[in-house]
Amino acid sequence: MIVTIDGPAGAGKSSAARLLAHRLGFDFLDTGAMYRAVTLAGLRAKIDLTDQAALANLVNRIRLEMPPGQVLLDGEDVAPFIRTPEVTAASGPIASSAVARARLVEWQRQIAKGRNIVCEGREQGTVVFPDAGCKFFLFADPTARARRRHAELVAKGEKIALEAILRAQEERDARDAGRDIGPMIPAADAIMLDSTRLTLDQVVERMEQEVRARWK
Ligand code: DC
C-alpha cells in the first residue's frame, strides 16, 4: 500500500510521515531529500542548474539510493549536507526542471514498487502515485509554519528574524504551487489536514486511523 503526504514546507510532513510509517511498519520516502541530493550533485559538479542539457546529463550520470535513514549519492551518504541554506536556495531550478522531475519520479516509483510505503513531497498523490491507497494534504497557517522553522533554527544557535523566514517561505510556496510540472496542489481525493492547532501526535493519530480504515 502506498500512502502519500503532500503539502507546503513547514507543515510537519517529514515528522508526520516518519512517525506514521513507524507506527504502521511501513517504509518512508522523503522525496524532498532526493531533490536536495540532486541539487548538491549539481553544485558539486559546478554545472549551471538552469541548463537543461547539463541537468539531463547529471541525472543520467548519478546514482541515488534511499535506504532507511540515508541518502546515498553515488554510494556516499550525503544526508548531513543537503539541508544547508545553500542547497535549499539552489533547489528551485531542479524542482522546476522537467527533465530532473521525470527522472526523480521514475526513481520514486522504482523505490516504492512492491512495498508498503509512506511517500512525502509535493505531488506524490497527484503525479507520482495517482492510485495511492491513502492520500493526505497536510497544511498549516503560514505564520505557524514560520514560527516552527524559526524555533528550530534558534535551537540550532542561528540568528534569523521571523520576518525573513516568513518572506522566504512565501516565495517557496508560490514557486511550489505555481510551477507547470508537478505543482503542489491537493489531489481531488486527498484528505485535507490542517496542522495549525494539532500536535504531531494528533496529526499522526488521525492519519493512522484513515490508513487503517483503507488498508486491506
Ligand atoms: O521538502 P523539501 O524542503 O526538502 O524540498 C526540497 C526542494 O524540493 C524544494 O525546492 C521543493 C522540492 N520538492 C519538489 O519539487 N517535489 C517533491 N516531491 C519534493 C520536494
pLDDT digits (tens, 9 = 90+) for 86-141: 999 899 999 999 999 999 999 999 999 999 999 999 999 999 999 999 999 999 99
Decide: 107 in ligand 1 pocket, CB within 6 A: no
pLDDT at position 152 is 87
Question: How is residue 29 annotated by DSSP?
Answer: E
Residue nearest to atom 18 of ligand 1 (CA): 121
Q: What angle do CA 40, 12, 206 make, to 5 degrees?
A: 140
Pocket probe for ligand 1: among 30, 36, 84, the residue whose CB has the most ligand atoms within 8 Å is: 36
Confidence label for 65 from pLDDT (cuts 50, 70 and 90): very high
User: For 65-120, what is the HEC assignment?
Assistant: ECCCCCCEECCEECHHHCCCHHHHHHHHHHHCCHHHHHHHHHHHHHHHCCCCEEEE
Instruction: Name the region of 157 (left: φ>0; alpha: ψ -120 to 50; beta: rest).
Output: left
Mean pLDDT of the chain: 96
Of 30-34, 128-132, 150-154, 206-210, least confident by mean pLDDT is 150-154
CA distances from residue 184 to 5, 89, 122 in whole angstroms, order as listed: 11, 18, 5
Does the CB atom of residue 36 touch ligand 1 within 6 A?
Answer: yes
Give residue 40's pLDDT. 98
pLDDT at 156: 87
Vertex 65: Cα angle to 62 and 69 (nearest 5): 140
Atom of ligand 1 nearest to the CA of 35: 8
Strand, coil or helix: what is 136? strand
For residue 216, the CA-to-ligand 1 centroid distance in Å is: 30
Q: Tell how far the Cα of 161 is from the centroid of ligand 1, in angstroms.
A: 23
Q: Residue 153 — very low, low, confident or very high, per pLDDT cuts 50/70/90?
A: confident
Predicted confidence band of residue 85 (pLDDT cuts 50, 70, 90): confident
Which pTM was predicted? 0.95
Q: How far apart are CA 10 and CA 7, in angstroms?
A: 9
Confidence band for 142, pLDDT divided at 50, 70 and 90: very high
Q: Which of the pair, 160 or 47, is modelled with greater confidence?
A: 47
Quick one: pLDDT at residue 144? 94
Give the type of residue at 101.
Answer: R
